[in-house]
Amino acid sequence: MLSVILPAYNEEKMLGKSADIISKILEDAKIEYQLIFVNDGSKDNTWNEIEKAVSNNQNIVGVNFSRNFGKESAMLAGLATATGDCCAVIDCDLQHPPEVLVEMYRLWEQGYEVIEAVKRSRGKESLMHKASAGLFYKLISKAVNFDMSRASDFKLLDRKAVDSILSLPEKNTFFRALSSWVGFKATSVEFDVQEREAGESKWSTRALIDYAITNIVSFSSAPMQFVTVAGVLTFIFGMIMGIQTLIKFLTGKAVEGFTTVILLVLIIGSLIMISLGIIGYYISKIYEEVKGRPRYIISKTIGK
């Protein structure tokens, strides 16, 4: 059986439609399936829509979060609820074309264990968004040793891969990269990102920046190395200035150089503050992990 996980946050307009379309496609392809809608604390009628879908179709399961925990948590809750031999994650706004699910399922039948859907094109995005996404993916790709620039959360995973992701103890997960991190026999299919028909994207610029920083921190310690590199560079610079100052002192020209002092204080001061900030960020993430709070809280599950 194929379990399809659909995280939903304020998707009342799209929910019924995507439930119908996806179940129709899977029924036509004669694939035994289960749809798991995870309501990520929506403020609109998404949960009512899920209840309606569950009563119309016995292959649908609904999971209701006690509040908004974010898409990462919603995907993990879906994976934990799923009982299928393989699990697919797909957006419930139909921006990920559901026909691709069938193609992915066929690849799974051929023995692939991780099937990633990669974006052929990135859809409509502003220039600013493109540039920052570019930088983010460069960093992440380097950290996971795998080209992530076209990656999406749209994937199909074998039970083995799902179980290994679920067994990870960390709280700050980055599903998109974890699926390649776990290994297994992997392949990919291409898809075109569709336009959103109704509702709106949940990603504000701030949310995107937060998402990027959290994921970089959870996957890479490269920013910490910046602290060391900056320290070494400042040390070398300091040695040169030190020698210059000594020579000036010995030759009796020592009073000049007030500008240098101010510049040094400012530059070194800001470097130290940036470095403390970076280290602080990692410490705050360690703090979050150490607290060991659950990734999400479920208030209700419906459907069989």
Name the residues that contact ligand UDP, by CB under 6 A.
Answer: 7-9, 11, 40, 68, 70-71, 74, 91-93, 95, 201-203
Q: Which listed option, ligand UDP, Mg ion, none, makes contact with residue 8 (CB within 5 to 8 Å by class)?
A: ligand UDP
Nearer to ligand UDP, 77 or 216 (CB): 77
For residues 61 and 302, is the Cβ–Cβ distance under 8 A? Answer: yes
Q: Is the dihedral of CA 39, 68, 133, 290 positive or negative?
A: negative
Nearer to Mg ion, 9 or 69 (CB): 9
Minimum gap (Å) between residue 204 Cβ and Mg ion: 14
Nearer to ligand UDP, 11 or 113 (CB): 11
Cα 93 to Cα 12, 17, 60, 198, 252, distances in angstroms: 10, 9, 17, 8, 75
Identify the CA nearest to 215 among candidates 148, 302, 290: 148
Sole binder of Mg ion in the list 49, 51, 72, 93 (CB under 5 A): 93
Nearer to ligand UDP, 57 or 68 (CB): 68
Nearer to ligand UDP, 9 or 108 (CB): 9
Minimum gap (Å) between residue 76 Cβ and ligand UDP: 11
Minimum gap (Å) between residue 227 Cβ and Mg ion: 36
Distance, CA of 177 to CA of 72 (rounded, Å): 12
Minimum gap (Å) between residue 46 Cβ and ligand UDP: 8
173 binds Mg ion (CB under 5 A): no
Minimum gap (Å) between residue 248 Cβ and ligand UDP: 58
Sole binder of Mg ion in the list 34, 59, 64, 95 (CB under 5 A): 95
Residues 6 or more apart whose Cβ sits within 8 Å of residue 105: 2, 29, 31, 86, 88, 156
Q: Which listed option, Mg ion, ligand UDP, none, makes contact with residue 40 (CB within 5 to 8 Å by class)?
A: ligand UDP
Name beta bridge partners: 298: 65
> What residue has token string 């995280």?
7
> What residue has token string 């190395």?
225
Q: Which listed option, ligand UDP, Mg ion, none, makes contact with residue 49 (CB within 5 to 8 Å by class)?
A: none
For residue 285, how far is the Cα from the chain centroid? 15
Q: Which two tokens stand for residue 249?
A: 């002192």
Query: Which DSSP category does 117 fall into?
Result: E
Nearer to Mg ion, 154 or 174 (CB): 154
Name beta bridge partners: 88: 4, 156
For residue 152, how far is the Cα from the chain centroid? 9
Distance, CA of 254 to CA of 243 (rounded, Å): 12
Minimum gap (Å) between residue 140 Cβ and ligand UDP: 16
Q: Which stretch binds Mg ion (CB under 5 A): 72-80, 89-97, 162-170, 180-188?
A: 89-97
Q: List interacting residues with Mg ion (CB under 5 A).
A: 91, 93, 95
